Chain A
Amino acid sequence: MRHTILAIALAVAAPFAAAQSIKIAVLGPMNFVQGENHWAGAEMARDEINKAGGISVGGKKRTIELVKADTNEIQSVPDATNAVERVITRDKVDFLIGGFRSEAVLAMQEVAMDYKKMFLGAGAADAKLGENVEKNYDRYKYWFRITPTKAPDLFRTLMAVLGDIGNQVRTSTRTDTPKVAIIAEKAAWTEAIVKGLQATLPKMKMDVVGTWQPSAVATDVTAELSAIERANADIVFTLLSGPVGISLGRQMGERNMKAVAFGINVEGQKDEFWQASAGKANYVSTLDTYAEVESTPKTIPFVQAFKKRYGKAPTYNAATYDAIMILKAAIEQTGGMDADKLVPAIEKMEHVGTAGTDTFDKRHDLVWAVGKTSGIAVQWQDGKKVPFWPPNIKGMQPYKMPAR
């Protein structure tokens, strides 16, 4: 009996929507910056498309309706899978976009594939998601990763930027072999990069003075930093997604360390970083996705409109915007919503997005190329996040070194 009550209650809770609209579920941890950006990017796309009358499906214009689904994935993986099941069977959505924590997205991918629903990822970086497509195409072909690029490509980008920074360090310190300290959180996504760094840096004429691996959820790196300071490093190479990124930037400033920090610092990508580090994280730099530079002709208008509407700059999760635009292009091209026809259309597509020009490989991952999907690098300079790489893009500014 309890179940009947539950069922009725659930049925009442399910909203009634106009039959004509295209329903897209936005999945993300809505209490966190990642989810906020998933939702914001999708809202931008929805409003833009609906203002123009909608997506034309076989000659008829249909508007977009977004379904916001809090996956709670940071706290619970089962909750995330339940949310996917709910939007598919209850809300009857046509497409899924979003997702962030890899462990959860792997489980969410399974549910979506069970129902043969297109799922455009905009957050999880684990290579396994794409490998599934290659290994079992018929089941997993409905998955595409709009952002970020996969780990080996991140490594290529990192090396390219590090080469440039290394040269600046060489001229400013007048040493031939700058010393690099690696601080990488202990996680599967950093593992290949750390091994790659240890092998590649000596070839680039840089000394690895040590590798520190704090836990991904640690908040305090005092001990690690003391050791790095003692090792006299010139470059602190960071691979951090958690709160450690903030303490690191802040303490490096407080200790007046001469070293510069570069790498991936997910917290450093957020506008709140400067405030969170109490204004101490000058010169910290990281890979990033969006800035007011001409990555593509769409970038500057998008970033400006986003800032105007939400009061802060988008993070990479706002690529849900591109996800919807890609869907729109594919739907208009095939003239229908049949996922089996949309998949080959997207595979062949070259889409000029807000952060880069997207084409997909056989794993449905982005094809990497500098200036195309490599993303950009930014540095914090006196409270502003300043883009400095790749140098050939219009709007880039010089990289700065702390005074010696």
Chain B
Amino acid sequence: MYLLRRAWAEMRNEILVLPSRTLVLVWVVGLLLLPLAYDDAYVLRILTMTCIFAIFAASWDLLAGYTGQVNFGHALFFGAGAYGSALASLKLGVSPWLTIWLGAAVAALFGYLSGYLCLRLRGSYLSLATLAFPLIGLGLLFAFPDFSGGELGVSGLQRLIVGPTANYYLACVSMLVVVFGLWLIADSRFGIVLHAIRDDEVAARASGINTPRYKLAVFALSAAAAGFSGALLAHYLRVAGPSTLEVALSFQVVIWGIFGGVATIYGPVVAVFILYPLTEWLGSFRHFGELRLLIFAVIVLLVLLFMPRGLTPWVRDRVEAQCPRCKQRNSVWRKICRLCGAPLQAQVARAERLVGHQ
């Protein structure tokens, strides 16, 4: 009883005080309870894919958003994970439950290598150079079709688990664990260092931070998460093919990331949860199903015109305000700060926000 009361108090004080945290709670509970309330194979399939791509998008954000290494070739890690796990489970006959970790490790290795190649590159150079990496990988896959299956990819993989609901829970729980993990990392001391590297690498180095080491670490970490999602998808579809390395997928993850709002981790996840089912839903219409990508691109463009920093920061600014004194966040309808008691005036907050933007 005491524990229950304690938990409730924790929840009221830490989660329900902020609209954004409340939303996250509702979302998590909703995801976990969904199959009980609405057990539909098609919806579960779409959400399974959504969860897998959410991991992918969140991993991109750790690298691009937090560390400022705007990777245009993130599909390399996704593909490395997919092929790594697929080949290991097929050629060595190991259970996919083990090989997905191998896939993530292979991806991490590729991440480390890309990071190494990119150490001295900045900004646009880095973005454009990384765009090339998955394409070089694609060239190699086609050069050794005996090994990689060429344009057909590796097929006939074992499933991790059978049945739509089981697969959904697998993807959903993996997503929650990885995303919260990434979020914790991003919020830790490690994350603060990454912030510093993005904002001013020279200053970070001058403060005694071994920036190359951090960059390599974050490349490997982000790649491992991306590879993990790639491996999940490969075993879910039972095919790992060259489409996991295409430019389109690399662009897709950039769109998700920026649409949701970079340097948030949850932003890209929200973006995937909105955009992926949306495109699928658009595609289900007989008459304009073929136009789904067009409608998708137009929506992205319009949303960005009004929310240039992405969706989640925009929404967050509407429902929450920053305390001018202690910088803690409060819901907009509060008169005084929940922690330090300083008055929260809308004007003050707005002025703060404007300053914050520049």
Contacts and interface: CB of A to CB of B under 8 A. Distances in A.
Interface in B28-58: 30-31, 34, 38, 40-43, 45-47, 49
Contacts of B289: 30, 70
Given A77-B243, A86-B284, A128-B156, A107 B45 contact: no
B6 interface: no
B152 A106 contact: yes
Contact of A6 (B149, B150, B277, B285): B277
Interface in A2-40: 2-4, 6-7, 9-10, 13-15, 30-31
Interface stretch (B10-18, B214-222, B233-241, B323-331): B233-241
Contact of B283 (A83, A106, A215): A83
A77 B280 contact: no
A50 B265 CA distance: 55
A186 B142 contact: yes
A103 B153 contact: yes
A187 B151 contact: yes
B286 interface: yes
Nearest to B159: A110
A82 B152 contact: no
A81 interface: yes
A91 B314 CA distance: 38
A216 B241 CA distance: 15
Contacts of A215: 142
A68 B286 contact: yes
B248 A75 contact: yes
A78 interface: yes
Contacts of B290: 30-31, 70, 72
A7 B40 contact: yes
Interface in A210-264: 215-216
Interface residues of A, number: 44
Given A75-B293, A82-B280, A90-B42, A110 B237 contact: yes
Interface in B149-182: 149-153, 155-156
Interface in B125-156: 142-143, 145, 149-153, 155-156
Contact of B237 (A2, A7, A9, A78): A78
Given A10-B284, A82-B45, A132-B156, A187 B150 contact: yes
Given A31-B290, A128-B152, A79 B30 contact: no
B45 A188 contact: no
B237 A76 contact: no
Contacts, number: 121
Interface string B69-110: 000000000000000000000000000000000000000000
Given A78-B233, A82-B46, A110-B238, A9 B281 contact: yes
Contacts of A4: 38
B66 interface: no
Contact of A1 (B26, B47, B243): B26
A286 interface: no
Most buried by B among A2, A31, A104, A216: A2
- Contact residues of B: prevailing secondary structure: helix
Given A90-B284, A128-B156, A85 B273 contact: no
B111 interface: no
B242 interface: yes
A191 interface: yes
A77 B238 CA distance: 11
B43 A10 contact: yes
Contacts of A77: 237, 239, 241, 243
A119 B286 CA distance: 21
A89 interface: yes
Contacts of B31: 3
Contacts of A85: 41-42, 45
A94 interface: no
B34 A3 contact: yes
Given A106-B155, A191-B145, A89 B26 contact: no
A65 interface: no
A296 to B, nearest CB: 31
A126 interface: yes
Nearest to B45: A85
B43 A7 contact: yes
A10 B278 CA distance: 10
Contacts of A72: 283, 290, 292-293
Interface in A81-134: 81-83, 85-86, 89-90, 102-104, 106-107, 110, 126, 128, 132
B151 A103 contact: yes
Given A107-B239, A191-B150, A76 B248 contact: yes
A337 B224 CA distance: 48
28 contacts: A2-B30, A3-B47, A4-B38, A6-B277, A9-B281, A13-B285, A30-B290, A70-B283, A70-B290, A72-B283, A72-B293, A75-B248, A77-B237, A79-B280, A81-B45, A82-B42, A82-B46, A102-B151, A103-B241, A106-B152, A106-B153, A106-B239, A110-B239, A128-B155, A186-B142, A186-B143, A186-B145, A191-B150
Interface of B: 26-27, 30-31, 34, 38, 40-43, 45-47, 49, 142-143, 145, 149-153, 155-156, 233, 237-239, 241-243, 248, 273-274, 277, 280-281, 283-286, 289-290, 292-293
Interface of A: 1-4, 6-7, 9-10, 13-15, 30-31, 68, 70, 72, 75-79, 81-83, 85-86, 89-90, 102-104, 106-107, 110, 126, 128, 132, 186-189, 191, 215-216
